[in-house]
Amino acid sequence: MDFIDEKINSYAEAHSQPESDLLARLSRETYTKVLAPRMLSGHLQGRVLSMFSKMIRPKSILEIGTYTGYSAICLAEGLAPEGKLYTIDINEELEDMAKRYFDEAGILSQVDYRAGNALDIIPTIEATFDLVFIDADKINYPQYFDQIIGKVSKNGLIIADNVLWSGKVLNESSNLDKDTLAIVDFNKKVHEDDRVENVLFPLRDGLMVLRKK
């Protein structure tokens, strides 16, 4: 993900709202105790997720890929008082850590945490989502979109992370790995889908933002 100039990124962070002490502690604990800490949304992306959520005040949020809970806490900052955030992660070992921080953030009662395969879990959730954040296994991005598009409210947002995939999406080689192929397929798929409007932001590793018409 190190293809955006470090000085530009630092300048952007310095001129954005700082992350809370709680999020800073969550970030530090993730980097010291958890495998692949770069999966964390982090300061700048976290503020972007928070801003989008505050702009639409969602009553229902779906997050595919909880990890240690950083992005969920950011998304919940705009959640309506009576709202609910559904979050799914395949790694049951991270559940206790995420819930500990959800509790400290005061959102635990609004979070419906589900451990397991998202493709199996999503169809079981009977809800309409105002905001969806996709940040899980890249190979299933196209399938996640197919599963959730019918569950998203009119004018609802779908945000997908890692859609630039460290710049690999620009590689025209015929020998692309499966994850890169899935991201390329996803980007093309949503760009050509007339049910949504889309903007790809070159932020961090790329954020695809979709609005359902």
pLDDT band with cut points at 50, 70 and 90 for residue 41: very high
Please write the tens of the pLDDT for every residue from 9-23: 899 999 999 999 999
Query: What is the helix (H) or strand (E) element at residue 97, kind and residue range?
Result: helix 95-105
Distances (CA, A) of 102 to 108, 109, 185, 196, 208: 5, 9, 34, 31, 26
- How many of the other CB atoms lie within 10 Å of CB of 15? 7
Q: Is the pLDDT of residue 3 over 90?
A: no
Q: Where are the domains of the chain?
A: 6-212
Task: Return the pLDDT at 152.
Answer: 98
CATH number for 6-212 (one of 3.40.50.150, 3.90.1150.10, 3.40.50.920, 1.10.3720.10): it is 3.40.50.150
d(C-alpha 17, C-alpha 149), whole Å: 31
pTM: 0.95
Task: Return the pLDDT at 38.
Answer: 84
Please write the tens of the pLDDT for every residue from 110-162: 999 999 999 999 999 999 999 999 999 999 999 999 999 999 999 999 999 99
First to last CA, the chain: 31
